[in-house]
Amino acid sequence: MTEHHQHIKLPEGSIEKQTTTLNVGPTHPATHGVFQNIMELDGERIVSTESTVGYIHRAFEKIAERRPLYQITPLTDRLNYCSSPINNMGWHLTCEKLLNVKTPKRVDYLRVIIMELARIADHLICNSIVGVDAGAYTGFLYVMQYRELIYEIYEEVCGSRLTTNIGRIGGFERNFSNTAFTKLEKFLKEYPSVLKEFENLFTRNRIFMDRTMGTGAISAERAMNYGFTGPNLRAAGVDYDVRVHAPYSSYEDFDFSIPVGKTGDNYDRFLVRNEEMWQSLGIIQQAYQKIQAFKGEEAEVYHANVPEYYLPEKEDVYTKMEALIWHFKIIMGEVDMPKGEVYHSVEGANGELGFYLISDGGRAPFRLHFRRPCFIYYQAYPELVTGGMLSDAIVTMSSLNLIAGEMDA
């Protein structure tokens, strides 16, 4: 270090240290999850940082090796718990790929509605938390009402709110109720003005812009090398979106655009997420129109006809022979799955969520690996924040949308 640090006379034998070590986490209000950063600070500037993860590792991949497919869905809930329906759907789609199940169009559209609602809920949390960490609490409190409304829609569809376990292999466990659609209409009607107001709070806010522009930036090339996906990659200028590159659940039927940023900094990440919420809203509207266009029997379809894997309705189990047999077979684990290896991915709210499933023909996977987007891109965090201010590092952390549950599996 330079000379001027030397004027303090330290006692003989003491170890002189020019930097301060600061533990951010594992439980710290700024980490929004259980993970640790050990930072070396020179004043308020970060000299180096080391990340530690794994505090809530729950061995999902191991547990999955003992479970039939439908019992793995609740495990996927607990990955990115801010948008668990997307994880659930991703898992069902993986199973359907392995089992060669074709879902009816109405099921696809219902799934799209749920997945896009989940994306909005997730982006809403992420963007408003970026606001909180930059010192603007209002937006966060304001938009919570609408996340609540989204959760109420989940509740109508599947009965739970956070860890949803929504849907089944082949479709949904029950049809959407009228209340679900009424709430969806309410959401579609009221949310645009809320999002507009939320946007007005931040997008051209001088303080917010000064805090986020140019901080936590990454180039497109580095982002790709670090395995960035989702909004974080798109903010750096790469237009990769699984919904477009490998459409699943009939995303090819929808008209939407993929917003991209340029600088890959916190501000661009915020803008990309914000625009994605508008796009999601458009997708939900289109999907709802398509669903309303179904007539007659088609308008009641909510699952594919796959009795081998889809649990029959309870009423049928008590009254119909066939249903009773299938119920018994599924519950007792007598339905084996075909041998094979599949990789399937969906556009999770924070990136490409992939499932690598190897089946040896038994009732449980031989091996299941989750490609968890934030586990992969969180490695870039030291590179993003080194040389910057501690307070910017906090905003960078929240704008990366890190979810401890997903990171630690």
Partner 1 sequence: MPGTPGNLNLIEMALTNERIQQQLTEKFGDIVFGFEESYGLLSFEAAKENNLKVLQFLNDDAELGFRFLTDLCAVNYPDQAGRELAVVYHLHNLAENVRLRFKVFTDIQAPDVFTASKLFSSANWMERETYDFFGVNFVGHPNLKRILNVDEMDYFPMRKEFPLEDQTRVDKDDEMFGRG
Residues that bind partner 1 (CB under 8 A): 53-54, 57, 59, 61-63, 65-66, 97-98, 222, 224-227, 238, 240, 245-246, 340-343, 345, 352, 354, 356, 358, 366-367, 369, 371, 375-380, 408-409
**Is 347 strand, coil or helix?**
strand
CA distance 9 to 163: 58
- The amino acid at residue 65 is E
Rounded least distance, CB 89 to partner 1, Å: 18
Rounded least distance, CB 377 to partner 1, Å: 8
Give the count of beta carbons closer than 10 Å to the beta carbon of residue 229. Answer: 26
Cβ distance to partner 1 smaller for residue 148 or 341: 341
CA distance 124 to 59: 29
Q: Using the 8-state DSSP alphabet, how is residue 200 labeled? A: H
CA distance 43 to 354: 41
Cβ distance to partner 1 smaller for residue 97 or 329: 97
Give the count of beta carbons closer than 10 Å to the beta carbon of residue 283. Answer: 23
Cβ distance to partner 1 smaller for residue 61 or 316: 61
Rounded least distance, CB 250 to partner 1, Å: 18
Rounded least distance, CB 357 to partner 1, Å: 10
- The amino acid at residue 22 is L
Rounded least distance, CB 312 to partner 1, Å: 25
Reported as type and span, the H/E element at residue 15 is none
Q: Rounded to whole angstroms, what are the CA distances from 38 to 27, 252, 390, 399? A: 13, 44, 12, 19
Cβ distance to partner 1 smaller for residue 325 or 342: 342
Q: Which residues of 346-361 are buried (b: 16+ CB within 10 A; e: fewer)?
A: bbbbbbbbbbbbebee
CA distance 238 to 85: 26
Rounded least distance, CB 61 to partner 1, Å: 7
Cβ distance to partner 1 smaller for residue 317 or 349: 349
Rounded least distance, CB 287 to partner 1, Å: 24
CA nearest neighbour of 345 among 227, 264, 238: 227
**Is 11 strand, coil or helix?**
coil
Q: To 10 degrees, what angle do helices 390-399 and 266-293 make?
A: 20
**Is 51 strand, coil or helix?**
strand
Rounded least distance, CB 341 to partner 1, Å: 6
Cβ distance to partner 1 smaller for residue 58 or 196: 58
